[in-house]
Amino acid sequence: MENALDNPNQSSVLEDQTADLPSKVVRLVDQLTTVIRNVALKPIGKIAGIVLASIGIMFLAPIILILGIIGVIRVLDTYAFASHTWISEGLIGVIFIVLGIIFLAKRK
C-alpha cells in the first residue's frame, strides 16, 4: 500500500482539499444565513412594517378628521356665511346626521 509520503502528487491533493476547507465553510455559512434571512427575517420585517403603519394611521386619521372639520367650519364661517358660525356648524351637523343615517341603513 502506498501512503501520502510515498506519492508526492497525492499529498498535494490532500493539501488542496484542506486548504479549500475554510472557503467551503464560509460559503456554507453564507448560504445558511441567506436562507435564514429570506425565510424568517424578511416576513417578520414586512409584518412589523404593516403593524407600524396601521398604528400610525389609527392615530393620525382622527387628528386629520378633526382638523379637517375645524378647517371647513372656519372656511365656511369666513367666506360663505360671514361671521354666522351657527350656520356653518349646523351645515356640518346636518352632513354628519345624513352620513349616520346612511351608515345605519347599510348596517342592517
User: What are the 10-residue block averages of pLDDT along the chain, 108 residues in total?
Assistant: 54 64 89 88 91 96 93 85 82 92 90
Query: For residue 2, is it within any domain?
Result: no
What is the Cα–Cα distance from 57 to 53, expressed in whole angstroms?
6
Q: pLDDT value at position 17?
A: 66
Query: For residue 84, is it within any domain?
Result: yes
Q: pLDDT value at position 87?
A: 85
Query: For residue 3, is it within any domain?
Result: no
Query: For residue 1, is it within any domain?
Result: no
Query: For residue 21, is it within any domain?
Result: yes
Q: pLDDT value at position 13?
A: 56
Tell me which residue of 29, 6, 32, 4 sits closest to 18, measured CA to CA. 4
Give just the sign of the alpha carbon dihedral 47, 48, 49, 52.
Answer: positive
Task: Give the chain's domain count.
Answer: 1
Domain interval for residue 89: 8-107
Q: pLDDT value at position 10?
A: 57
Query: For residue 12, is it within any domain?
Result: yes
For the record, the C-alpha cell of 26 comes out as 464560509
